[in-house]
Amino acid sequence: MINTLLNANQDVLGLNWRNQKIIRQENPSSAKQLADDKLRLKKKLGKYDIPTPTLFKIVKRKEQIPHIDWESMPKSFVLKPNKGTGGQGIVVFYGKKKGALEWIRPDMSTMTKEQIENHISDILDGRYSMGGRKDTAFFEERIINHPVLKPYSYKGIPDVRIIVYNGVPIMAELRLPTRESRGTANLHAGGIGVGIDMATGITTVAIHRKGFDLIGDRYDIIEETLDEPKLPLRGLKVPYWNKIMEMSIRCQKLSGAGFLGVDIAIDRIQGPVVFEINARPGLAIQLANMAGLRERIERVKRLKVKTVTRGIKIAKTLFGGVIEEEVESLTGKQVIGMVEKVTCLPAPKIEPEEEIETAPAVSADTSTEKTTPTLKPKTKKRHRKKRRKGAPEKEIIKAKIDTGALHSSIDRKLAFRLGYKELREVSELFETPPEGLNEARKHIIPYKEKAEDLKQIDNFTIIKSGNGVSIRPIIEVETIISGEQKTIRFTVSDRSDLIYPAIIGRRDLKDFIIDPSKTFVLSSLIKKDESKS
């Protein structure tokens, strides 16, 4: 029980920690002011070429209201309070009544010019602003729903909320408007929140607010949209995912906030546009992703993220793979990319060497040396030196996942480093390859016979490739791919001129699912960053 409570405190970001340790410490008041002032934000984003909905008109004073040129207003637009919160006071107009100064709302009701003027007056009076302070009203372009997201949203614009911390997008959710939320994407109002896998931009878990609950907003996990047509919410690929991540990082940098929620909508023509930024983003996003924000914050806290591209790479490496985990749990197969990190373990020793025999003796020595501690360090040092010099070590390499090849192949120098020393005995195979298939068939016979005497070489095979015909030794290497230990039968060739020291062919890929979009980032690079900072 206590363990659960302590673990929860380390993983889940609660309101207290968010307010005290994150917002108060990492978000300066200038950043909060910018987030609360939509017009100032629009101007600033424009300076940095970050797209936002086009601004039509600003109304600052009541005296300006009678002078608004309604005839020149477009058919569809959005009226917003500058400092409004939670979508309050925002009115969307989809069209205009023919021959009248009357605009149509998403629920097909209309608002006359006079009614809109009254609404503007309310905004200016501060009815929708924080603390009831005087406000400014403005008209802006209406975003047109992207065709991919349109069927999932009920009469409103869905948006992507990305939480960015220290230049890294750490969590994201797709927010979908519903009939219950009256077309707003706000989860609190009854919208749907769908978690997004950071690596792929594919939706994962979906949540929707439970009915009346005295304790607070609690959420149910749902599988389908609430309104017709009922569509599955998992597995939807968010368009422009990389662009969205890039924009969110740029927004965080220009805002000066350390911890920021960026709301990005996807327009049918313009693509992603920033709706607004939030210096105090809500925490329900954790449920939509079934992951704690605090744990993610801790992971990127000490990183030095210099570029936007690096921030995206880190996000994909550290917080991606939710979809893969789901596929893996369903199929029992690991998901790998086109290039994978492969750990090759050293070759098993042919004969027990002296070292092994002496090993227990050394340990025995150390046990007896308990009474004579001065001898202990010397023995240990010698032992370490011996191991470094003699025994081959494991090699971590980048291997190409090649579904076009049947056999897996490894570079001979790498194989030698791994301890396959018997390859020396057939070194002529790499230097003078046979001139044709017939010659290769003749030559291979003595090698096959020889293979019976060799312990490290399993067999020999003839390989036809773009470079001609070759006879290659086959060795069995213990490898670890994506956490799976597997014995792979590699053909050995000279790959010193090629990019990858090994390729994994079809025969050895039966236990894996290949995802071409999976990016390969060596975690050692991130570790290096951590250690530097």
Partner 1 sequence: MIIITNPNTLILNLPIIVTFIASIRYIIGFKTWELFTVLSLILSYYLLNSFIGTLWLTTLIWLALIFIILSIPYLTHQALLKFKMHYYGRMSLVYFGTLIGLILTIPFFKLLQNESLFNQIYHSQTGVIALILIALNTTALIDLQYKKDRVGTIRLIFFTLIISLLLGWLITWNSWNSLIAKNQEIVLIVLLLGFITANWTYLRLTDFARFKQLINKTDD
Q: Nearer Cβ to partner 1, position 87 or 169? A: 87
Measured distance CA(264)–CA(51) in Å, rounded: 10
Measured distance CA(36)–CA(85) in Å, rounded: 8
Contact between 44 and partner 1 per CB under 8 A: no
Nearest-approach distance from CB 425 to partner 1, in angstroms: 53
Nearest-approach distance from CB 217 to partner 1, in angstroms: 7
Q: Nearer Cβ to partner 1, position 220 or 449? A: 220
N- to C-terminal Cα separation, the chain: 35
Contact (Cβ atoms closer than 8 angstroms) between residue 489 and residue 406: no
Measured distance CA(474)–CA(458) in Å, rounded: 5
Contact between 4 and partner 1 per CB under 8 A: yes
Rg of the chain in Å (alpha carbons): 32
The residues in 236-265 that bind partner 1, with binding defined as CB under 8 A, are none
Nearest-approach distance from CB 73 to partner 1, in angstroms: 18
Tracing tokens 């911890």 back to the chain, one arrives at: 259
Among 54, 64, 76, 88, binds partner 1 (CB under 8 A): 88
Per-residue string for binding with partner 1, 100-119, x by CB under 8 A? --------------xx--xx
Among 64, 110, 121, 358, binds partner 1 (CB under 8 A): 121
Among 106, 126, 151, 271, binds partner 1 (CB under 8 A): 126
Contact between 231 and partner 1 per CB under 8 A: no
Contact (Cβ atoms closer than 8 angstroms) between residue 469 and residue 440: yes
Closest to 443 measured CA to CA, from 456, 457, 426? 426
DSSP assignment of 376-444, as one string?
A: HHHHHHHHHHHHHHHS---EEEEEEE-TT-SSEEEEHHHHHHTT-GGGGGGTHHHHS--SSHHHHHHHH
Among 64, 85, 110, 461, binds partner 1 (CB under 8 A): 85
What does the buried/exposed string (b/e) look like for 151-161 if buried means 16 or more CB atoms within 10 Å of the residue's CB?
A: ebbbbbbbbbb
Nearest-approach distance from CB 21 to partner 1, in angstroms: 6
**Among the residue ranges 43-51, 122-130, 251-259, 461-469, the one whose residues contact partner 1 (CB under 8 A):** 122-130
**Among the residue ranges 123-131, 442-450, 458-466, 508-516, the one whose residues contact partner 1 (CB under 8 A):** 123-131
Nearest-approach distance from CB 220 to partner 1, in angstroms: 9
Q: Nearer Cβ to partner 1, position 119 or 310? A: 119
As beta bridge partners, residue 335 has: 513
Amino acid identity at 235: G
Contact between 385 and partner 1 per CB under 8 A: no
Half-sphere exposure of 91 (CA within 13 A, CB side): 24
Q: Nearer Cβ to partner 1, position 125 or 365? A: 125
Contact between 15 and partner 1 per CB under 8 A: yes
What does the buried/exposed string (b/e) look like for 42-73 if buried means 16 or more CB atoms within 10 Å of the residue's CB?
A: bebbeeeebbbbeeeeebeeeeeeeebeeeeb
Nearest-approach distance from CB 4 to partner 1, in angstroms: 5
Among 44, 60, 113, 127, binds partner 1 (CB under 8 A): 127
The residues in 162-191 that bind partner 1, with binding defined as CB under 8 A, are 188-189
Residues that bind partner 1 (CB under 8 A): 4-5, 7-9, 11-12, 14-17, 20-21, 85-86, 88, 114-115, 118-119, 121-122, 125-128, 132, 188-189, 212-218, 221, 286-287, 290-292
